[in-house]
Amino acid sequence: MRIEFYNGNVASAEGAIHAGCKFFAGYPITPSTEIAEHMALRLPQVGGVFIQMEDELASMAAILGASWGGVKSMTATSGPGFSLMMENIGLGAMTETPCVIVNVQRGGPSTGMPTLVGQADVMQARWGSHGDYEIIALSPSSPQECFDMTIRAFNLAEEYRVPVIILMDESVAHMSEKVMIPDEKDIKLVERKKASVPPSEYLPYKADDFVPEMACAGEGYNVHVTGLTHDEKGYPQATSPEVQEKLVRRLCDKIRENEEKIRDIEEIEMEDAKIALVSFGISARSCKSAMKKARKDGYKVGIIRLKTIWPFPEKYFEEISEKVKKFIVVEINYGQIKLEVERMVGRKKVVLLPKMGGDIHKPEEIYGKIKEVHNGN
Amino acid sequence: MEIEGEHHPLDEYLRADRIPHIWCPGCGLGTVLNGFLHALEETDIDLKNLAIVSGIGCTGRIAGYINVDSYHTTHGRAIPFATGLKLANPKLKVVVISGDGDLFAIGGNHFIHAARRNIDMTVICVNNYNYGMTGGQLGPTTPLESKTTTTPYGNIEHPFNLCHVAHASGAVYVARWTALHARRMKDSIKEALNKKGFSFVEIIASCPTTYGRRNKMPTGLDTMKYYKEKSVIKHGIEPEKADIEIGGEIIVGKFVDIEKPTFNEEVEKLIRRFHK
Amino acid sequence: MRREIKFGGFGGQGIILMGNIVGKASAKYDGKNAVFTPSYGPEARGGAASSNIVIDEEEIDYPYVTKPDVLVVMSQEAYEKYAPSLKDDGILIIDEDLVHLKNGVGRVAKIPSTRIAEKLGKRIVANIVMLGFFAGVTKLISYKAIRKAVLESVPPKFKELNEEALEKGYKYGIKWREE
């Protein structure tokens, strides 16, 4: 184990290296650029390839190609680039290609506030590409979590054969903190299931437990991979509603049915909490400051910190809403996760404490909102 | 459809269970596929290590008919996908086969940058002067004055000269043929496949259903006759002098064949600095 | 106890590096928690730059500096911009040749850091002189820790120079404390 002092971007890049990432394709964009820079420095040292592409469309396409070439691959971007990636995130979901995308969120919409914080890409991460699909998105609150979660993102991508998004924010990306880097032997890595039968018996999109075995290029399986609706053989069946039904259900259910396994929530002081602050990323840290002060002053308040944002922990909220009276959703946008919480616990129980971007919540504003909600205003 | 006792010499290259293909009668794509497979047969490429990548469109469907690892990606993105594939697994021979709209309109930026980087891959562009799959719209290579469904009064845009674009962007091998030049096309594809670096072959091919019909070449045969009448072989000519104009001559041949280090070689050099 | 520190100057003075070194020194070598956040204008050189560090033995939740306990400024612009935010009992540390004080603010520690650096042969180490001074004046980080952090943050061939710069500044700081 060694201790480093890294910012979130560098920690995430190091996490990728420790997860065995061997390919990075990206396009420079503030506030994510340090990830590309660090990967450019590190990948040749570990026998990997870094390439700066002509845009984010290409970056996303390239990491899918690299994943089919048999290696773990990653890209990093911010809002405007994330928008361009949506096309091939859809291809990744459809072709079930493991890969990791870091989106360091800044203030939007459009070019917005390139150097300042935002958390308004939450819904885009879930719904940004067209059609029905499910995705996994994680949200780190510290450089240490940037490191740990990047490794987890690769593991989840490999396990479920799905693009995994790390929804970082500018604050976490640019703050430096102590990061503990475990020894290699202490890092648990997951690898994609390889084809276990001979080519004559292999069906690239047949899945007994939701996730099919993956045969990459050059392994002798002559796999056809297409973004068209395809059958178990991988062949296009673009006019068959039956094939579409089966495929889309599986693409969604492999994540939905595993939500509890994927779920990662940090509960703080929730045992007796009547008010819960629901937050993620940098916002959760402001919540913690506010919660500590409120607890001292006798308010029964706790925190539900979403480390995994997608799939949304529906059952969790259903259950916890039985004991919590009010949920205050603290996020740097105009109400996105709030919609999800409302969906599960009902609109009456949810209060939004938004921020449009450019700055993070001050603990005092959150404290003020706790008092207000407690007093029934 | 299987005919008992019949065996085509190229059967082992095809996904026979996917035939018949979707292409129209008179389409040039069958000739291109045939030429490509014959070229392949004449190389030493191990099929296990061959990967075909395509984008979207009629040509994009070629990937699905060849019995190797094949990737039918998104519109315009075949080249960046192929770039990732090749860089992740350098032992692969990566071939991109796609259409003019896919490679040069929506995917144009990727083409020029892959050529500039000299990524080790072969790109075959089937140029049929229009968007066939969507019903015959204007494409980046549609000749001036041509009629398409989105240029009902005649095309007013200047078309790309693809070989000129490829050459100017840095491709190490550039050739153009029409679907009429079956043997020469095959030879060029073979050369391109054997070439290290970014090699490019343009094949002008008929699209009677959506282009020919509106431009006085209603059958595949009319188009072939047109190619026969207008094609002039000029090896080694400066690609910029090989513009295509409606009614004008079609200059074909091998225009560029040079050597320069590939991106892959540079990456390997870099990695060797840390792994001696 | 939570301590907030802000370094301010103009781009190119190494203000961001100063923050990084202080954060690294306390997190890696003093065994405390530290958060460092840079902020700089869109210009690479000449614009206003600041770096912010929070140090605490406890877990740090809110990561930003709002009312610094220590403000270190190396330009007039930074002084004017940040001095009002200094805590009432905070310490203001300045490069006395670059900052002219306008009105009385609490405790002030002055050093001609740029001049000292010039005497050492490289004006560019003014920030390291200032770091040494900061450590000596505030004792918020140990000399051992900041020395280690400086040495691992500078190019190998400039290690000696930087060490000398740090030491000069530190001694100047100790002297200030004694006075």
* Environment class of A5 (CB within 10 Å of its CB; exposed 0-12, middle 13-18, buried 19+): buried
Q: What whole-number distance in Å separates Cα of residue A36 and Cα of residue B99?
A: 32
Note whether residue B143 is domain-resident: yes
Quick one: pLDDT at residue C116?
97
Pairing of strands C91-95, A301-306: unpaired
Q: What whole-number distance in Å separates Cα of residue C18 and Cα of residue C52?
A: 10
Q: Which residues of A touch B267 (CB under 8 A)?
A: 44, 49
Quick one: pLDDT at residue B9?
84
Closest CA to A93 of A121, A128, A120, A122: A128
Angstroms from C102 CA to nearest CA on chain A: 30
Inter-chain contact A91–B73, Cβ cutoff 8 Å? yes
Note whether residue B238 is domain-resident: yes
| A135 and A9 share one domain | yes
| A142 and A290 share one domain | no
DSSP state of B151: B
| A178 and A271 share one domain | no
Angstroms from A176 CA to nearest CA on chain C: 5
Taken in order of first residue, the domains within chain C and their CATH numbers are 3-178 (3.40.920.10)
What is the residue-averaged pLDDT of chain C?
93
Closest CA to B18 of B59, B60, B74, B62: B62
Angstroms from C141 CA to nearest CA on chain A: 16
Quick one: pLDDT at residue C102?
86
- Rounded to 5 degrees, φ, ψ at B199 are -110, 145
Residue C4 and residue C34 in contact, taking contact as beta carbons nearer than 8 Å? no
Does this model's pTM top 0.90?
yes
R_g (Cα) of chain C, nearest Å: 15
Closest CA to B250 of B192, B202, B200, B193: B202
Residue A62 and residue B81 in contact, taking contact as beta carbons nearer than 8 Å? yes
Q: Which residues of B touch A236 (CB under 8 A)?
A: 64, 72
End residue of a domain, out of A130, A158, A186: A186
Percent of chain C with pLDDT over 90: 88
Structure tokens at A192: 């994609």
Structure tokens at B148: 């398409």
Q: What whole-number distance in Å separates Cα of residue A110 and Cα of residue A93?
A: 25
DSSP SS3 for C107: strand
10-residue block means of pLDDT along chain A (377 residues)?
97 98 98 98 98 98 98 98 98 98 97 95 98 98 98 98 98 98 98 97 96 98 97 96 98 98 98 98 98 98 98 98 97 98 98 97 98 91
Total domain count for chain B? 1
Residue C42 contacts A where some CB pair is shorter than 8 Å? yes
Angstroms from A332 CA to nearest CA on chain C: 15
Note whether residue B149 is domain-resident: yes
The partner residues of B159 in beta bridges, in order of sequence, read none
How many residues are present in chain C? 179
| A56 and A180 share one domain | yes
Quick one: pLDDT at residue B6?
73
Structure tokens at A209: 């437990």
Note whether residue A210 is domain-resident: no
Q: What whole-number distance in Å separates Cα of residue A75 and Cα of residue B16?
A: 37
The domain in which residue B118 lies consists of 23-274
Give buried/exposed letters for B206-234 (b at 16+ CB in 10 A, else e).
bbbbbbbebbebeebebbbebbeebbeeb
Q: In sequence order, which residues have a C-beta less than 8 Å from that of residue A270 and are 6 or more positions away?
A: A276, A302, A303, A304, A320, A324
Q: What is the largest CA-CA distance in chain B?
A: 64
Q: Which residues of A touch C85 (CB under 8 A)?
A: none
**Distance (Å) of CA C43 to CA A212, A344, B30, C47:** 50, 46, 57, 6
| A7 and A127 share one domain | yes
Residue C64 contacts A where some CB pair is shorter than 8 Å? yes
Note whether residue B73 is domain-resident: yes
CATH number, domain with residue B76:
3.40.50.970
- Whether this model's ipTM surpasses 0.95 comes out as yes
Q: Judge whether residue C158 has pLDDT over 90.
A: yes
| A276 and A158 share one domain | no
Inter-chain contact A177–C28, Cβ cutoff 8 Å? no
Closest CA to B240 of B229, B226, B256, B224: B256
CATH number, domain with residue A104:
3.40.50.970
Quick one: pLDDT at residue A333?
98
Q: Which residues of B touch A59 (CB under 8 A)?
A: 80
Inter-chain contact C36–A5, Cβ cutoff 8 Å? yes
Q: What whole-number distance in Å separates Cα of residue B20 and Cα of residue B56?
A: 19
Inter-chain contact C38–A174, Cβ cutoff 8 Å? yes
Q: What whole-number distance in Å separates Cα of residue B275 and Cα of residue B260?
A: 24
Q: Which residues of A touch C23 (CB under 8 A)?
A: 5, 176-177
Note whether residue A331 is domain-resident: yes
Inter-chain contact A176–C42, Cβ cutoff 8 Å? no
Q: Give C52-63 pLDDT, tens digit per residue.
A: 999 999 999 999
Residue B214 contacts A where some CB pair is shorter than 8 Å? no
Angstroms from A226 CA to nearest CA on chain C: 43
Note whether residue A232 is domain-resident: no
CB-CB: which of B68, B87, B274 is closest to A23?
B87
Q: What whole-number distance in Å separates Cα of residue B82 and Cα of residue B25?
A: 30
| A164 and A279 share one domain | no
Q: What whole-number distance in Å separates Cα of residue A299 and Cα of residue B60?
A: 63
Nearest CA in chain B to A21: B88
Q: What whole-number distance in Å separates Cα of residue B30 and Cα of residue A6?
A: 56
Residue B193 and residue B207 in contact, taking contact as beta carbons nearer than 8 Å? no
Note whether residue B16 is domain-resident: no
Note whether residue B180 is domain-resident: yes
Nearest CA in chain A to C20: A176
Q: What whole-number distance in Å separates Cα of residue C74 and Cα of residue C50?
A: 10
Inter-chain contact A222–B51, Cβ cutoff 8 Å? no
Residue A289 contacts C where some CB pair is shorter than 8 Å? yes
Which chains share 3+ C-beta pairs under 8 angstroms with A? Answer: B, C
Identify the segments of chain B with pLDDT beneath 50: none
Nearest CA in chain A to C58: A289
**Distance (Å) of CA C50 to CA A161, A176, C88:** 43, 14, 20
CB-CB: which of A3, A175, A292 is closest to C37?
A175
Which chains share 3+ C-beta pairs under 8 angstroms with B? Answer: A
Closest CA to A50 of B274, C15, B151: B274
Nearest CA in chain A to C62: A286
Inter-chain contact A3–C27, Cβ cutoff 8 Å? yes
Note whether residue B6 is domain-resident: no
Q: Which residues of A touch C35 (CB under 8 A)?
A: 175-177
Interface test with B, best of A46, A60, A222 (most B CBs within 10 A): A222
Inter-chain contact B73–A53, Cβ cutoff 8 Å? no
Total domain count for chain A? 2
Inter-chain contact A65–B267, Cβ cutoff 8 Å? no
Note whether residue A221 is domain-resident: no
The domain in which residue A7 lies consists of 2-186
| A286 and A173 share one domain | no
Closest CA to B60 of B6, B3, B98, B12: B98
| A180 and A313 share one domain | no
Inter-chain contact A288–C38, Cβ cutoff 8 Å? no
Q: What whole-number distance in Å separates Cα of residue A125 and Cα of residue A310?
A: 8
Residue A176 contacts C where some CB pair is shorter than 8 Å? yes
Note whether residue B10 is domain-resident: no
CATH number, domain with residue A303:
3.40.50.920
Q: What whole-number distance in Å separates Cα of residue C37 and Cα of residue C60?
A: 13
